[in-house]
Amino acid sequence: MEILKTVNLTKTYIDGREKKIALDNININVERGDFIGIFGPSGSGKSTLLNLLGGLDRPTAGEVYIEGQRTDILSQSDLALYRRRRVGIVYQFYNLISNLNVEQNIKLPLLMDGRDVDLDFYKKIMELISMEDREKSFPEELSGGEQQRVAIARALVNKPSIVLLDEPTGNLDRKNRDKVLELLKFSNQAFKQTMLIVSHDEDLVNATNRVFHMEDGKIIRDVVLK
C-alpha cells in the first residue's frame, strides 16, 4: 500500500538576490513498511525533504500526500495534529523541551492527545537506548548522544505510521548506534512503520530496504535493495 507520495515537490529560498533551489521537482512513492536511507552531501536537500514530508515547512511548489490525503495545504492546526498523531520526527538538532525531564519529554506527544502510553513498549525502548536510569534527568544534564536517544524514543513511543529521522546516529558511539538501529528495526517491523532516515553512516544501508541518493536538490538514484 502506498503511504507517502510527492508530486513535483520543490522548495526554493531567496538568498539576497539569488534564488537557491533546495529541492528540485521530487517525485517519490513510498510503500507502507519501507525502511529508506537518504544519503547525500551536505546541502543536497535531505533535511529540507524531511521537513516538507513531516509538515514542518511548506513547499514552494508541488504536493505531498500521506495515505492519499494531501497534507501540504492543511491549516496550521491540522498540520500540528497530523504531526502529533501520524508522524514521529527526530530533528537534526534534537529539540527536547528543557524544563521537562526525560520521561516527560518522551511521553509528551501522547499526553497532549490524552492517549495512554503503552508502558511495556516504553520500558522496552528505555532499555534499548540504555536510559532506564535517567528518566528524571533534564536535557541539560544529558550528553549529546543521550539527548539524541531521548529524541528517538519520543518519536517512536506513540507508534506513528511514518517516522522521519535526520542523522539519528550522528552523535552515538558504535554500541549505542547498534542499539538504536536494533530499536528502529524492531519498531519498523512490529508496527509496519515507514521510516526515512537521513544519514552519513554507510553501515546503516544494511538496515534499509531502499536508498535515495540526493545531490543538488534531486534524487539522483533510487535503489531498492530487498
Ligand X SMILES: Nc1ncnc2c1ncn2[C@@H]1O[C@H](COP(=O)(O)OP(=O)(O)OP(=O)(O)O)[C@@H](O)[C@H]1O
Output the smallest distance, CB 195 to Mg ion, in A. 17
Between the two ends of the chain, the Cα-to-Cα distance in Å is 17
The reply to whether 18 sits near ligand X by the rule CB under 6 A is no
Instruction: Provide the residue type at 66 as one letter.
Output: I
Output the smallest distance, CB 164 to Mg ion, in A. 12
Kindly state the number of chain residues that form the binding site for ligand X, as judged by CB under 6 A: 13
15 binds, among Mg ion, ligand X, none (CB under 5 to 8 A by kind): ligand X
The reply to whether 15 sits near ligand X by the rule CB under 6 A is yes
Half-sphere exposure (Cβ direction) of 48: Cα atoms closer than 13 Å: 25
The rounded distance, in Å, linking the Cα atoms of 218 and 74 is 25
Query: In which residue are the cell numbers 531567496 written?
Result: 14
77 binds, among ligand X, Mg ion, none (CB under 5 to 8 A by kind): none
List all residues 6 or more positions away from 102 whose beta carbon is below 8 Å from its beta carbon: 131, 134, 135, 136, 137, 138, 139, 142, 150
Contact present, 164 and 54 (Cβ < 8 Å): yes
Instruction: Provide the residue type at 62 as one letter.
Output: G
* Alpha-helical segments (H) within 64-143: 76-86, 102-112, 119-128
Options 20, 70, 115, 221; binder of ligand X; rule CB under 6 A: 20
The reply to whether 42 sits near ligand X by the rule CB under 6 A is yes
Output the smallest distance, CB 62 to ligand X, in A. 15
Options 9, 22, 36, 106; binder of ligand X; rule CB under 6 A: 22
The reply to whether 199 sits near ligand X by the rule CB under 6 A is no
Options 4, 26, 39, 47; binder of Mg ion; rule CB under 5 A: 47
The rounded distance, in Å, linking the Cα atoms of 82 and 78 is 6
45 binds, among Mg ion, ligand X, none (CB under 5 to 8 A by kind): ligand X
Contacting positions for ligand X (CB under 6 A):
13, 15, 20, 22, 40, 42-48, 92
